[in-house]
Amino acid sequence: METIQSTTSSKPAARTGGDKRELILDAALELFRVRGFRRTSMEDIAEAAEIAKGTLYLYFRSKEELFAALSQRLGERILEAMDQAKIATASADLEERLVALFNAKLGFAHHLLNSSPHAIELIGSNQRICEGRLGTLDERFRDDVAELLTEASGQGQISAKAAGQSLVTAGDVISTAVHGAMSKVADESEFYKSIREIIHLMVRGLRP
């Protein structure tokens, strides 16, 4: 997933409200990534976004509110990447579909974690999005993995009985293994390779 950052090289003469909000979030992401939440002030964010401090407070009443909005945006973009991965690999085999889904969910998080010691603040427990409609990002991801496994089981590609566990549990085991690799493999290309290898082994164990 592509890193979220501003693509403008200079400040336009005028911006819409939505543009300014996105500019603020872009500036906040970079500052939180480099300095961390505690060491970043609203004044710092306003300066980085090239807006007046008073204008910043028209969009966000506090740094906590801004942080929550940024976490939500990151989560929403990961969800979009997951949806795009599912569509792009709809006709592929189970392994490819799982690899694409895991890459979409964890690729950006892995990149962010290895680019800053403060990144965990952005992708940790505050990453609740679309509450009441989609639930948490992790819950949505768990459902998507279970859906792919269930579909593959219905087609006879895998069998939960082969591994002696339910498909939901099988999905959880795969997720646990891949998340473990995320914390141990710093190199991005090696991490993606690890995702593919883990999924290959896990799916192989589920084949009838």
The answer to whether 97 and 89 have CB atoms below 8 angstroms apart is yes
User: Quick one: pLDDT at residue 43?
Assistant: 97
Does one domain contain both 110 and 55? no
pTM confidence score: 0.78
Structural domains in the chain (count): 2
Is residue 7 assigned to a domain?
no
What's the CATH code of the domain at 35? 1.10.10.60
**HSE (side-chain half, CA atoms, 13 Å) at 26:** 16
Does one domain contain both 55 and 86? no
User: Quick one: pLDDT at residue 31?
Assistant: 92
The amino acid sitting at 86 is K
Is residue 11 assigned to a domain?
no
User: Quick one: pLDDT at residue 118?
Assistant: 67
User: Quick one: pLDDT at residue 123?
Assistant: 59
What's the CATH code of the domain at 79? 1.10.357
Distance from the first to the final alpha carbon of the chain: 34
- CA separation for the pair 206, 164 (Å, rounded): 9
Is residue 9 assigned to a domain?
no
Is residue 3 assigned to a domain?
no
Does one domain contain both 150 and 83? yes
Is residue 118 assigned to a domain?
yes
Does one domain contain both 32 and 90? no
Does one domain contain both 57 and 106? no
Could you report the average pLDDT of every consecutive run of 10 residues in the chain (208 residues)?
37 56 94 88 96 96 90 86 96 96 87 70 48 63 94 91 85 92 84 94 91
Does one domain contain both 189 and 88? yes
User: Quick one: pLDDT at residue 16?
Assistant: 53
Buried b (16+ CB within 10 A) or exposed e, 60-75: beebeebbebbbbbbb
Does one domain contain both 152 and 96? yes
Does one domain contain both 50 and 96? no
Does one domain contain both 57 and 91? no
Here the tokens at position 2 are: 């592509």
Is residue 66 assigned to a domain?
no
User: Quick one: pLDDT at residue 133?
Assistant: 36
Does one domain contain both 135 and 176? yes
Q: Is 208 helix (H, G, I), strand (E, B) or coil?
A: coil
Does one domain contain both 36 and 90? no
Does one domain contain both 79 and 34? no
Is residue 67 assigned to a domain?
no
CB atoms within 10 A of CB 78: 23
User: Quick one: pLDDT at residue 187?
Assistant: 85
Q: Which ranges constitute the DSSP H helices of the chain?
A: 17-35, 42-49, 53-59, 63-88, 94-113, 120-123, 137-154, 160-163, 167-184, 188-206
Residue identified by tokens 């990447």 is 81
Q: How far is CA 104 from the centre of its chain?
A: 7
User: Quick one: pLDDT at residue 58?
Assistant: 96
Domain that holds residue 51: 17-61
Is residue 2 assigned to a domain?
no
Q: Which of 31, 61, 91 is the last residue of a domain?
A: 61
